[in-house]
Copies of this chain bind each other. A is one copy, B any other.
Amino acid sequence: MVTIVDVAKHAGVAPSTVSYVLTGKRPISAQTSVRVRESIQSLGYHPHAGARALASSRTNVLALVLPLREGVQLPVVMRFVTSVVSTAREQDMDVLLMTAAQGADGLRRVAGGAGADGFLLMDVGLDDERVQVVRELDRPAVLIGHPAAAAGLTCVDLDFEAAGARCVEHLAGLGHRSIGFLGAPGVVYARNTGYAQRTLAGFSTAAMRRGVVSTALPAEPRYDSVHAVVRTLLRELPQMSALVVHNEAVLGWVVECLRAEGRRVPDDVTLMAICPDELAERMRLTCVRLPADVLGRCAVELLVAKLNGQKTPALTLLPPELSSRTGRAFPSGIPGKLIP
């Protein structure tokens, strides 16, 4: 193995000088710097991560804790993960993968054993148990999603409440007076999942404010469930002229179910979704974007800022963006491949 001492000898300098060239923590003359870099190149030197961590108490690793449980939207998770990995590399960090199943002990082990400098917790619920653990850990953490009380934490999330409201504003602006809402599976609401409840709250409040008639129902990821929900919506809202879908998995079925009930999209019912833009693009649907990649980048950057001792806001909410599309929706389509 090539060590920093080998490089130092090869370049005719002290090991500490090589270290300073690499870290930039002290000024090194341009010529020395060049010479050292050449030695590094020609010897194929790579600093030993463990030794570095030991000496500097910085691992340059961030731990990403994924929730791999029922109801997670795989395409969203994957976009998020790739975004996290590539942003982390830009900051010269690596990513340690953990699952929520590893639990509090896992977090304590990694934090205590200097396995990572900080944590990224995905899909945090309203009353998430992990929040308590994070608070007592001495490592910085960034949460994606946010609990009811975000004080003292650092959370990033799409402003789902605004997203729900945005849908109503958009549709009301087009003249719709009776709007349905087809939401996530029941279990997601029962689990006290922040994003689902907030979206619904934003939707309902905005509907009330605009004097729009509305009804909201959860839908399971089965064709018959979706069909039943659509039928119920049409019964409750006979004048329903628009439908907001906040459930990626069943988006493709909704068009068919509406059609099966004699409503054409968009002629009879205007459909819009809260989902990743690629999915909406494929379905040719207007949507409020679910910006997983922006969230990932944002989360890593906040974590790095915290690692550098900067103060970060307790809650960063990304404003919802509307992505407009006109024309005829596809008859169906849940893409299984969202990663380009």
A50 touching B53, Cβ below 8 Å: yes
Q: Closest approach, in angstroms, between the C-beta of A303 and any C-beta of chain B?
A: 15
A69-112 residues at the B interface, CB under 8 angstroms: 69-75, 77-78, 81-82, 85-86, 89, 94-99, 101-102, 106, 108-110, 112
A248 within 8 A of B: yes
Stretch of A153-161, A310-318, A331-339 that contacts chain B: A331-339
Number of copies: 2
Q: Closest approach, in angstroms, between the C-beta of A316 and any C-beta of chain B?
A: 24
| Residue from B50, B52, B59, B110 in contact with A52 in the complex, judged by beta carbons closer than 8 Å | B50
A71 to B338, CA, bound (A): 8
| Residue from B78, B94, B185 in contact with A77 in the complex, judged by beta carbons closer than 8 Å | B78
| Residue from B47, B70, B89, B330 in contact with A339 in the complex, judged by beta carbons closer than 8 Å | B70
| Interface footprint category on A | 35 or more
Main secondary structure on chain A at its contact with chain B?
mixed
A249 within 8 A of B: yes
B77 touching A115, Cβ below 8 Å: no
A2 to B70, CA, bound (A): 38
Residues of A within 8 A of B (CB): 1-2, 44-54, 59, 61, 64, 68-75, 77-78, 81-82, 85-86, 89, 94-99, 101-102, 106, 108-110, 112-115, 185, 221-223, 248-250, 252-253, 256, 282, 330-340
